[in-house]
Chain A
Amino acid sequence: MSRFFATGSDSESEESSSADEITPKAPGTTLKQSLLLSDDEEDTKRVVRSAKDKRFEELTNLIKTIRNAMKIRDMAKCLEEFEQLCRAFLKSKNIVDKEGVPSFYIRLLADLEDYLNLLWEDKEGKKKMNKNNAKALSTLRQKIRKYNRDYETEITAYKENPQESADEEEEKEAGDSGSSSDSDDDDDDDDDGVSAKAFLKKKPESAPDASKFLKSSKGSGESSSSEDDDEGGWGSDPVGSGSESSDEDQGKSASLAVVFLKKTHESEKSADKKVSKRKKIKKEHLEEEPEEGEGEEVEGGWEKVKGGVCLVKEKPKMFAKGTEINIPVVVKKLNEILQARGKKGTDRAAQIELFNALAAITAENNLGQGILVKIKFNIIASLYDYNPNLAAFMKPDMWKKCLDCINELLDILFEDNNIFIGENIAEDSENLAISEQPFRVRGCILTLVERMDEEFTKIMQNTDPHSQEYVDNLKDEGKVCNIIDRLLDYLETKGSTEEICRVYLRRIMHTYYKFDYKTHRRSLGLPAESKSEQDQDESEGEDSAIIMDRLCKFIYAKDRTDRIRTCAILCHIYHHALHSRWYQARDLMLMSHLQDNIQHADPPVQILYNRTMVQLGICAFRQGMIKDAHNALLDIQSSGRAKELLGQGLLMRNMQERNAEQEKIEKRRQVPFHMHINLELLECVYLVSAMLLEIPYMAAHEFDARRRMISKQFHHQLRVGERQPLLGPPESMREHVVAASKAMKMGDWRTCHSFIINEKMNSKVWDLFPETQRVREMLVRKIQEESLRTYLFTYSSVYDSISMHTLSEMFQLEIPTVHSIISKMIINEELMASLDQPTQTVVMHRTEPTSLQNMALQLAEKLGSLVENNERVFDLKQGVYGGYFNRDQKGSYQQKHGGYQRGGYRNQNQNNY
Chain B
Amino acid sequence: MASTAGTLDSPVKQIQIEGMVVLKIIKHYQEEGQGSEVVQGVLLGLVVEDRLEITNCFPFPQHTEDDADFDEVQYQMEMMRSLRHVNIDHLHVGWYQSTYYGSFVSRALLDSQFSYQHAIEESVVLIYDPIKTGQGSLSLKAYRLTPKLMEICKEKDFTPEGLKKANIGFEHMFEEVPIVIRNSHLINVLMWELEDKSTVADKHELLNLSSSNHLEKSLQLLMDRVDDMSQDIVKFNTYSRNLSKQQQQKHQYLQRRQQENAQRQSRGEPQLPEEDINKMFKPPQPPPRMDTLLIAGQVNNYCQNVKEFTSQNLGKLFMAEALQGHN
**CB–CB B237/A866 < 8 A:** no
Q: From residue 208 to 235 of chain B, which have CB atoms closer than 8 A to chain A?
A: 212, 215-216, 219-220, 222-223, 226-227, 229-230, 233-234
Q: From residue 837 to 878 of chain A, which have CB atoms closer than 8 A to chain B?
A: 850-852, 855-856, 858-859, 862-863, 865-866, 869-870, 872-873, 876-877
Q: Is B236 an interface residue (CB 8 A)?
A: yes
Name the contact of B223 in the complex, choosing from A851, A859, A869, A881 (C-beta under 8 A): A859
**CB–CB A859/B233 < 8 A:** no
**CB–CB B226/A850 < 8 A:** no
Footprint of B on A, CB under 8 Å? Answer: 850-852, 855-856, 858-859, 862-863, 865-866, 869-870, 872-873, 876-877, 881
Q: Is B240 an interface residue (CB 8 A)?
A: yes
Residues on B with beta carbons closer than 8 Å to the beta carbon of A881: 241
Name the contact of A869 in the complex, choosing from B212, B216, B234, B244 (C-beta under 8 A): B234
**CB–CB B212/A850 < 8 A:** yes
Residues on B with beta carbons closer than 8 Å to the beta carbon of A855: 216, 219-220, 223
**CB–CB B216/A866 < 8 A:** no
A190 to B166, CA, bound (A): 115
Name the contact of B226 in the complex, choosing from A852, A856, A859, A877 (C-beta under 8 A): A859
Residues on B with beta carbons closer than 8 Å to the beta carbon of A873: 233, 236-237, 240
Residues on A with beta carbons closer than 8 Å to the beta carbon of B220: 855
A859 to B244, CA, bound (A): 32
Q: Which residue of B lies closest to A855 (CB)?
A: B219
Residues on A with beta carbons closer than 8 Å to the beta carbon of B216: 851-852, 855
Residues on A with beta carbons closer than 8 Å to the beta carbon of B230: 862, 865-866, 869
Q: Which residue of B lies closest to A863 (CB)?
A: B226
| 25 contacting pairs across A/B (C-beta < 8 A) | A850-B212, A851-B212, A852-B215, A852-B216, A855-B216, A855-B219, A855-B223, A856-B219, A859-B222, A859-B223, A859-B226, A862-B223, A862-B226, A862-B230, A863-B226, A866-B226, A866-B229, A866-B230, A869-B230, A873-B236, A873-B240, A876-B240, A876-B241, A877-B240, A881-B241
Given contacts A855-B219, A855-B220, A881-B241, 16 further A-B contacts (CB under 8 A): A851-B212, A852-B215, A855-B223, A858-B223, A862-B223, A862-B226, A863-B226, A865-B230, A869-B230, A869-B233, A870-B233, A872-B237, A873-B233, A873-B236, A873-B237, A876-B240
A881 to B234, CA, bound (A): 15
A865 to B226, CA, bound (A): 10
A873 to B241, CA, bound (A): 9
Residues on A with beta carbons closer than 8 Å to the beta carbon of B240: 873, 876-877
Q: Which residue of A lies closest to B222 (CB)?
A: A859
Residues on B with beta carbons closer than 8 Å to the beta carbon of A851: 212, 216
Footprint of A on B, CB under 8 Å? Answer: 212, 215-216, 219-220, 222-223, 226-227, 229-230, 233-234, 236-237, 240-241, 244
Residues on A with beta carbons closer than 8 Å to the beta carbon of B236: 873
Residues on A with beta carbons closer than 8 Å to the beta carbon of B212: 850-852
Residues on A with beta carbons closer than 8 Å to the beta carbon of B233: 866, 869-870, 873
**CB–CB B226/A869 < 8 A:** no
Q: Which residue of A lies closest to B233 (CB)?
A: A869
CB distance from A598 to the nearest CB of B (A): 41
Q: Which residue of A lies closest to B224 (CB)?
A: A862
**CB–CB A869/B215 < 8 A:** no
A852 to B223, CA, bound (A): 12
CB distance from A874 to the nearest CB of B (A): 10
CB distance from A257 to the nearest CB of B (A): 95
CB distance from B287 to the nearest CB of A (A): 12
CB distance from A768 to the nearest CB of B (A): 46
Name the contact of A876 in the complex, choosing from B219, B226, B227, B244 (C-beta under 8 A): B244
Q: Which residue of A lies closest to B218 (CB)?
A: A855
CB distance from A250 to the nearest CB of B (A): 99
The 4 closest A-B pairs by CB, nearest first: A869-B233, A855-B219, A852-B212, A866-B230
A865 to B240, CA, bound (A): 19
A859 to B229, CA, bound (A): 13
A71 to B210, CA, bound (A): 103
A689 to B130, CA, bound (A): 46
Residues on B with beta carbons closer than 8 Å to the beta carbon of A865: 230
Q: Which residue of B lies closest to A870 (CB)?
A: B233
Residues on A with beta carbons closer than 8 Å to the beta carbon of B226: 859, 862-863, 866
**CB–CB A852/B219 < 8 A:** yes
Residues on B with beta carbons closer than 8 Å to the beta carbon of A870: 233
Residues on A with beta carbons closer than 8 Å to the beta carbon of B219: 852, 855-856, 859
A252 to B212, CA, bound (A): 118
CB distance from A908 to the nearest CB of B (A): 16
Q: Which residue of A lies closest to B215 (CB)?
A: A852
Residues on B with beta carbons closer than 8 Å to the beta carbon of A856: 219
A881 to B222, CA, bound (A): 30
CB distance from A878 to the nearest CB of B (A): 11
Residues on A with beta carbons closer than 8 Å to the beta carbon of B229: 866
Of listed A855, A856, A865, residue having the most chain B CB within 10 A: A855
A98 to B223, CA, bound (A): 99
Residues on B with beta carbons closer than 8 Å to the beta carbon of A876: 237, 240-241, 244
CB distance from A849 to the nearest CB of B (A): 12
Residues on A with beta carbons closer than 8 Å to the beta carbon of B227: 862
CB distance from A877 to the nearest CB of B (A): 8
Q: Which residue of A lies closest to B240 (CB)?
A: A876
Residues on B with beta carbons closer than 8 Å to the beta carbon of A862: 223, 226-227, 230
A280 to B205, CA, bound (A): 125
Q: Which residue of A lies closest to B220 (CB)?
A: A855
A852 to B215, CA, bound (A): 7
A850 to B211, CA, bound (A): 13
Q: Which residue of B lies closest to A852 (CB)?
A: B212
CB distance from B238 to the nearest CB of A (A): 10
A881 to B248, CA, bound (A): 14
Residues on B with beta carbons closer than 8 Å to the beta carbon of A858: 223
Residues on B with beta carbons closer than 8 Å to the beta carbon of A850: 212
A199 to B85, CA, bound (A): 120
Residues on B with beta carbons closer than 8 Å to the beta carbon of A869: 230, 233-234, 237
CB distance from B221 to the nearest CB of A (A): 11
CB distance from B266 to the nearest CB of A (A): 34
CB distance from A9 to the nearest CB of B (A): 75
A862 to B241, CA, bound (A): 23
Residues on A with beta carbons closer than 8 Å to the beta carbon of B223: 855, 858-859, 862
A852 to B313, CA, bound (A): 15
A852 to B214, CA, bound (A): 10
CB distance from B277 to the nearest CB of A (A): 22
CB distance from B220 to the nearest CB of A (A): 7
A870 to B234, CA, bound (A): 8
CB distance from A870 to the nearest CB of B (A): 6
A34 to B268, CA, bound (A): 86
A873 to B222, CA, bound (A): 22
Residues on B with beta carbons closer than 8 Å to the beta carbon of A859: 219, 222-223, 226
A503 to B317, CA, bound (A): 86
A856 to B306, CA, bound (A): 12
Q: Which residue of B lies closest to A876 (CB)?
A: B240
Residues on A with beta carbons closer than 8 Å to the beta carbon of B241: 876, 881
A869 to B215, CA, bound (A): 26
Q: Which residue of A lies closest to B223 (CB)?
A: A859
Residues on A with beta carbons closer than 8 Å to the beta carbon of B244: 876
Q: Which residue of B lies closest to A879 (CB)?
A: B244
A865 to B233, CA, bound (A): 11
A856 to B212, CA, bound (A): 11
Q: Which residue of B lies closest to A851 (CB)?
A: B216
Residues on B with beta carbons closer than 8 Å to the beta carbon of A872: 237
A869 to B239, CA, bound (A): 13
CB distance from B27 to the nearest CB of A (A): 32
Q: Which residue of A lies closest to B244 (CB)?
A: A876
CB distance from B283 to the nearest CB of A (A): 16
A856 to B222, CA, bound (A): 10
CB distance from A556 to the nearest CB of B (A): 57
A855 to B223, CA, bound (A): 9
A67 to B240, CA, bound (A): 78
A850 to B215, CA, bound (A): 12
A855 to B230, CA, bound (A): 17
CB distance from A885 to the nearest CB of B (A): 14
